[in-house]
Amino acid sequence: MPQAHADFRELQGANRRQTELLVVVFLVLFCALGFGLDILVGALRIVDGHLVGFPFLTIAALIIGSIQALFSYYGGASLVLMSAHARQLMPDSPKHQMVLDVVREMALAARMPVPRAYVIADPAPNAFATGRDPAHSVICVTQGLIDEMDREELQGVIGHEMAHIRDYDIRTMMMIAVLVGGVAMLADFVVRWSFYGGFGGRSGRSQSGEGGGEAGAIIVILVFVLAILAPLFSQLIAMAVSREREYLADASSVEFTRNPRALLRALEHIAQTESPLSHASRGIAHLFIVNPLEGACESGEGFFDNLLSTHPPLPRRIARLRGLLGEPAISPASGVAHS
């Protein structure tokens, strides 16, 4: 047990370092897009092979990105909950009280503060955790999860989300959710400016008129390409980081519940659901226990399916949990096995 504790300490440290690295990556993207705007509006020009001018918009983009990183750290959870149309879960029914009890049980098993509980009024069974640390954490479940899951299945799902909180995944994923949205908005602005002011406009003439020539035109094209690819690149980062954490959270759920069948039954139950979540955007999709934008049964197994997915294939996660029970793995092509 001490070794496992040390391993999780190392994981938490690695997650903190990864969060810092991701913030740097996103700030670089912000600065690159700001630099592109400086080129497009003519604040920076190429004269006789040299870059002249002052990068007003690059500095502005860096400041905006830094403010957004700070905001995502301290206020990102509220923004995520607002985006998901979530409200605080109250003990106003036996089912809601059971969820609150299970959250307390799993917090005790994980030796952590009890997270706040929220609910989304949606029939699709799903859940996510968010916050900047265990002391400021939130677990959010859908009404569909509450209605369809029994206590054992709820323990498996809540245990999975508690693992994300304990390992500080919530901080990384929350900041990614906010920063991805910021990159997308800035990139969209750059694309619009490129069409209406960059190509053939004032900035294009200033580049060639001041001796920039072909170099200026190439930079403008590169800026346009960057603005197109930046949102996709940032989204791929979010997807890759999310996929890495799901398997570990599944295993940690078993550690908390001492019951491999709890999460297995829950995931098998969710796998039968074909309806996506009504209030979910691509910016927060990576936070959920399963992809909220498509039916769970649509999880693909191909290379590109996995590359463009926020989660590992659900059949593969189920197969791993069945392996913990000593049961034979079921091929994804043959469908999901039932207990």
Provide block-wise average pLDDT over 10 residues at a time, the chain (339 residues): 48 67 82 83 76 86 85 84 93 96 95 96 93 93 95 95 89 78 79 63 47 62 78 74 78 86 92 78 82 63 55 85 72 43
Give me the phi and psi of 331, to 5 degrees please. Answer: -65, 135
Q: CB-side exposure of 151: number of CA atoms within 13 Å? A: 10
E strand or H helix at 86: strand 86-88
With respect to residue 106, please indicate whether it lies within any of the assigned structural domains: no
**What is the length of the chain?**
339
Give me the number of domains the chain comprises: 1
SS3 252: helix
Q: Determine, yes or no, domain membership for 150.
A: no
Residue 56 CA to residue 61 CA, distance in Å, equals 9
Q: Which of 103, 106, 31, 108 lies closest to 65, judged by CA?
A: 31
Residue linked to tokens 């959270």: 249
Dist CA 104 CA 87 (whole Å): 18
Is 93 contained in some domain?
no
Query: Would 247 be classed as within a structural domain?
Result: no
pLDDT of residue 4: 43
Cα–chain-centroid distance for residue 100? 25
Q: Which domain holds residue 207?
A: 2-82+172-239
In a domain, 131, yes or no: no
Sequential DSSP letters for 147-167: HH--HHHHHHHHHHHHHHHHT
Instruction: Examine residue 219 and state whether it is found in any structural domain, yes or no.
Output: yes
What residues are labeled active site?
161
Look at residue 12 in the predicted model and tell me its pLDDT.
Answer: 59
- CA 249, CA 290: separation in Å to the nearest integer? 12
> Within a domain: residue 139?
no
Q: How far is C-alpha 27 from the geometric centre of its chain's CA atoms?
A: 17
Q: What pLDDT is attached to residue 213? A: 55
The pTM assigned to this predicted structure is 0.74
Residue 280 lies in a domain: no
Sheet arrangement for strand 137-142? 86-88, 116-120, 137-142, 127-131
CB count in 10 Å sphere of residue 149: 26
Contact 138, 121 (CB under 8 A): no
**What is the number of other CB atoms lying within 10 angstroms of the CB of residue 190?**
25
Radius of gyration of the chain (CA): 23
